[in-house]
Structure 1
Amino acid sequence: MEAICHFFRTNYILANCEDVISKKAFSLNLSHYQMAELPEIIKRCDTLMKLYLNQNILTKVPSSLGNLFRLQVLALDYNKLTEFPMCICQLVRLKFLNVSCNNIICLPPELGNLTALETFWCNNTGLRILPAEISNCERLQTLGVRGNRLRTLPSSMGTLSELRWFTAENNELSEVPSTFGLLQNLVHLNLKENQLSRFPRLLISMPNLKFVFLNQNLIVDAPTRSDLEQLQFLRMLNLSKNPISTQAELQKLAQQQTNIYVEMSDDLLHDSAITLGRYSPNTQEEANANPNHESSSDWANSVRTSQLDSSDESTLENTIEDISVMLPEMSRYVTTF
């Protein structure tokens, strides 16, 4: 029975590829097909702009994938890759790349060739080093490296002037590069579950920040009252489950400034009905039930890797966008008489 399923699955995949070639299609979804390798015919799908290969069992990607030079979206998450495919670095038009949930402990310096990249997810791969050359990806707006083994971040990241969302939750980071203060467009910063020992005061110089997660670290260097007052532009500063979070002074400040989150002592919870409401176990559930609530949005909470959308969205809007991208190339075939 398994052989029969494999036969039909393989032929269905080939039929999809042939359909792309004959129709010169822009999008191909080969996710969830238990593919151990890509068919050779994929190199002939040279009109593709979106390719979804997630949720398979791929152990490698053929170098011919680098010939799909029109690709803007590539999803390879949830496979069995043991290294970052070098051919991806040839896809200089890529805007979205997801390689999460593979076994990729190293990213090549050539990643910096992807200068059009806007979104890059590399969560839960065992990644140990983020290459300094990522600074060449100057259009990067979203960067996720959650659940890895990073001990440092490259100081060159400070040049990513378009970066708005950065999550490095659950790593081994002991400090934040001073150049992070240059990320003036950063809105969301998640450094939860690391080994930070100092409160990063450079946050004060980042007025567009709205959501900062520093909970579950080792912070013993408490921010001053002045520091926290200058951070009132934040909608959320989570300092819970740090050595400083139970300090009386910080607990009082958390009562006064509603954007500061720490675990509250029993005395303060008893004294303040407002505080009790803020830290009630049901508060987050209520927020999630209300889709308009700020803390239920992706900007407030780093979306889980399993919830990342790597599916094909074949809508009219996307079709129009694909055509608009192709127009400059098509224009050379138009002759004005």
Structure 2
Amino acid sequence: MRLPLILLFVLLRSCIFASSVFLIKNPVDGLVPCHPQHIQALTQFKNEFDSSGCNQTDYFNGVWCDNTTGEVTRLKLPEGCLRETLSSNSSLFSLDHLRYLDLSYNNFNSSVPSELGNLNILEVLILSSNGFIGQIPSSFSNLSQLFFLDLSHNELTGGFPLVQNQTKLNYLDISYNHLSSKTLYPKSSLFMLHHLRYLDLASNNFSFSSIPSEFGNLFRLEVLFLSSTGLTGQVPSSFSNLSRLTKLSLDHNELTGTLEPISKLTTLDFLSLSFLKISYPFDLNLFSSPKSLLVLDFSCNSISPDSLKTGCGITQFPNFLKNLHNLEHINLSNNNISGKVPEWLWKLPRLSALALVNNSFTGFEGSVELLVNSSISFLDLALNHFKGPFPNPPHSLKSLSAWNNSFTGNIPLSICNRSSLDLLDLSYNKFTGSIPPCLSNFQSSLIAVNLRKNNLEGNLPDMCYDGALLRTLDVGYNRLTGKLPRSLLNCSRLRFLSVDNNRIKDTFPFWLKALPYLQALTLRSNEFYGPISPSDQAYNNFSGSLPPDYFVNWKASSLDEDGRLYMEDNSSALYVYQDTIDLQYKGLKMEQAKILTSYSTIDFSGNRLEGPIPESIGLLKKLIALNLSNNAFTGHIPLSLANVTELESLDLSNNQLSGTIPKELEKLSFLSYISVAHNQLKGEIPQGTQITSQPRSSFEGNAELCGFPLKGSCFRTIAPPMQQQEQDKGEEVLNWKAVAIGYGPGLLLGLLLGQVMASYRPEWLIKITGLYKFRNR
């Protein structure tokens, strides 16, 4: 399969650089046909970085050389295999015949070297998603041959880049940086780029006092993204000059005038006006002109002075949409639209994605069969007031999200007849009946199922067979009974499993440890019994002790790295699904969204666990919350807890722990909640800020515990200084008398024993002192 791909790349590339060929690797002759000096430079460049974990054999597959001279003309090394600093003396800058350079999605985390400006015949430069910091070098003005420049998704600061010499630019993307607007004025070189077709300035720190009318000079523009750029004022009438514009985004800005100039852009197929604050009422029917619209985003808008006070403001369904027959995506989320979803919406012939999240819809016009023949694949109805049975879903449905409504009745069995299903989220409703067993029909596509907080009954059906893709299964807070299906072992990609607050009666499912990617397991408030295994298993009937090495293999939480990785979202263009879990954190029950891939929280509370808390708990360097309350743990509080430096919440209350509270816990600078109440602890409470700031109730129920914030002092009344000195002298005399009294007889006895041991065999002495027994253990 490798050879056809290479040939394809050669053909594609020959359309741009006809005199170059793709570099290939020959096991015998090495890299050909590149010049040996350039091969050496490439090898040196590779060795400048930490590329561990990367496929080394693919490194040179992104290199093209001139067929005649052997000079490197194109270099494409994206995807995270170059880490550390891109230095100013890098061998990269010796490749001065480069015309195409793509280093995107690496991890340099350094400033952009000014030496890049020496590669003055570059035509394409892509440095996106690298963590570059600092300003864009002024030497970039030397790159007069550039027609494609992408610096997006970095941490760049300073003014707008100097582009006065890049008159050939037709693609410019500097989005998602921290650039300011100090040099972006009507006379800016930006507005001299008359060949520009693609411009993305989104998500920077620009703060326009008004939108420059000179945008209208860029009459060749086809794509313009200005979201989150601090735009204020009116949309200038010159926008109507952008007659070739097909995609426009003005999200998250504060416009003060009419949007009428936008309505004249009849060639638009993508229009995003979400989260605008428009202090001028206008007629939404203005946007009925662009008949070619494919994507329309009007989510969360304030379109009148009154609505500015209350947030998002569209209150009626935009009827002009019925005439836009090419629409494929509609997003009207986060508005105040009430009533029923109009019947005509489902008849738009090309509509494939619809998001109506967070409105006040109560139902659907028409019959329950209305949606069946719709072309919709992605449907998001979450956070509304829908009531009654759920209508039969479209045949083309792939993703359904309708959480936090009041749907009743059974989950429609007609969902079983759909060709594929990626996401099913019907949580926080009032569905009854059983879970459709047909969900296993979608094992080649289904990624997430969330039926949490309904009134579902019966057994949890078999969900997976070999090869299933399911990552998330949440059926918590229902009335499910029976046992956990052993077919869950076939869910080899499962990361999140929650069956809490049901009536499941089964032995503890230690067999789930065979699932290699399982990151969160919630079994709280069921009737599980038997030995225990990792994650959140509060309020079951578990009993037994935890072995000392219990936490040794919890690798994800043991990682001592900066930052944390988050569970991948099951997302599409119009929906984002996040796993959530109910936790007891800092003494409060709460819901945590977007679960960390490491075990950030351990909750074993409300069981019958006994024995000492394993010292191996200290290996979990990234642990944030630990709750072992309401068990029967004994022994000391582990000193190793001081190694869990990111710990914020620690609850060891209602156990049988003894000994003192380790003074080392004072080092936990993030610890904001601790409770050791109702144990058998003694001694002084450590006086670190994090501990003494806790309420008295966190330490009560320990009869021999003393010190602030408890009332009792750990020391009796202190004698006056003179009396104390006399007492010390008296004690000193008594101590010497005691030494003398003990020393005399001891010396005599020692001499006597020495004589005996020198003259006789010592077995009798060994037996008397117990040493014989010790040596034979």
1:160 equivalent in structure 2: 442
Structure 2 residue aligned with 1:331: none
Q: Would you say 1:43 and 2:317 are equivalent positions?
A: no
Kindly indicate whether the alpha-carbon contact (under 8 Å) linking 1:146 and 1:167 is maintained by their aligned counterparts in 2.
Answer: yes
Q: Cα offset for 1:222?
A: 2.4
Is the aligned partner of 1:272 residue 2:614?
yes
1:19 Cα deviation from its structure 2 partner: 4.2
String of CA shifts for 1:99-135, please: whole Å, max 9, x gaps. 11222331123x1x332x2221010112222101112
In the other structure, the counterpart of 2:732 is none
Tell me the SS of whatever aligns to 1:83.
strand
Supply the distance in 2 between the matched residues of 1:95 and 1:286 (Cα, whole angstroms).
43
More helix by share: 1
Give, in whole Å, the separation in 1 of the partners of 2:350 and 2:459: 36
1:31 aligns with: 299
1:4-26 per-residue CA deviation (whole Å, 9 max, x = no partner) reads x99954x34222x22433xx121
The answer as to whether partners of 2:546 and 2:613 remain within 8 angstroms in 1 is no
**Aligned-pair distance for 1:204?**
2.4
Task: Give the corresponding residue for 2:358.
Answer: 78
Match of 1:18 in 2: 288
Where in structure 2 are the equivalents of 1:115-264 lying within 5 Å? 115=396, 117-128=397-408, 129-151=410-432, 152-161=434-443, 162-182=445-465, 184-201=468-485, 202-223=487-508, 225=510, 227-228=511-512, 230-231=514-515, 234-244=518-528, 245-249=540-544, 255=550, 258=554, 263-264=604-605
Using the alignment, how far apart are the partners of 2:517 and 2:320 within structure 1?
53
Query: Which residue of structure 1 aligns with residue 342 of structure 2?
Result: 62
Give the total of aligned pairs. Answer: 275
Alignment of 1:318-337 (within 5 A): none
Secondary structure of 2:290's aligned partner: helix
Contact 2:496–2:520 (CA under 8 A) maintained in structure 1: yes
1:167 deviates by: 0.9
Match of 1:318 in 2: none
- Aligned twin of 2:735: none
Distance 1:224 1:249 in 2: 15
| Corresponding residue for residue 334 of structure 1 | none
Whether the aligned pair in 2 keeps the contact of 1:240 and 1:262 (CA below 8 Å) is: no
Show structure 1 runs of 5+ residues with no match. Answer: 288-337
Specify whether residues 216 and 281 from structure 1 end up closer, same or farther in structure 2 by C-alpha distance, changes over 3 A only: farther
Q: Give the distance between the partners of 1:195 and 1:211, measured in 2 at CA.
A: 20
Q: Any idea what SS the aligned residue of 2:325 has?
A: coil
2:395 matched residue in structure 1: 114
- 2:284 is paired with a residue whose SS is helix
Residue equivalent to 1:104: 387
Larger Rg: 2
In 2, Cα distance between equivalents of 1:131 and 1:250: 45
- Secondary structure of 1:156's counterpart equals helix
Change (3 A) 1:236 1:78: closer
Is the 8 Å Cα contact of residues 546 and 612 (structure 2) preserved in structure 1?
A: no
Relative distance call for 1:198 and 1:6 in structure 2 (3 A) is same
1:177: Cα distance to partner?
A: 4.6
Shift of 1:250: 9.2
The code of the aligned residue for 1:132 comes to L
Identity %: 20
1:242-276 residue CA offsets vs partner (Å, 9 max, x unmatched) = 34334115977x94785996515696595213347
- Closer, same or farther in 2 for the Cα pair 1:76/1:44, shift >3 Å? same
Q: Distance in 2 between matches of 1:84 and 1:250?
A: 55
The verdict on how the C-alpha distance between 1:60 and 1:108 changes in structure 2, with shifts beyond 3 A counting, is same
> Of 613, 618, 625, which residue of structure 2 is paired with 1:282?
625
Consecutive unaligned residues in structure 2, runs of 5 or more:
1-276, 302-312, 529-539, 557-598, 628-644, 648-777
Q: TM-score, normalised by structure 2?
A: 0.32
> What SS does the corresponding residue of 1:163 show, helix, strand or coil?
coil
Distance 1:6 1:185, change over 3 A: closer
How far, CA to CA, are the matches of 1:91 and 1:8 in structure 2?
36
Contact 2:341 2:363 (C-alpha < 8 Å) held by counterparts: no
SS in structure 2 opposite 1:37? coil
Amino acid at match of 1:136: N
TM-score, normalization by structure 1: 0.68
Do the aligned partners of 2:317 and 2:337 also contact (CA within 8 Å) in 1? no
Distance (whole Å) between structure 1 residues aligned to residue 618 and residue 526 of structure 2: 20
1:139-198 CA distance string (max 9 Å, x none): 211111110122322222221231111111112223345342348221111122222333
Q: Is the Cα contact below 8 Å between 1:240 and 1:263 reproduced in 2? A: no
1:228 and 1:166 mapped to 2: Cα distance? 18
Partner of 2:661: none
Q: Which gives a bigger RCO, structure 1 or 2 (Cα 8 Å, sep 6+)?
A: 1
Aligned-partner Cα distance in 1 for 2:499–2:541: 15
Q: 1:114 to 1:37 in 2, by over 3 A?
A: farther
Structure with higher strand content: 2
SS of aligned partner of 2:507: coil
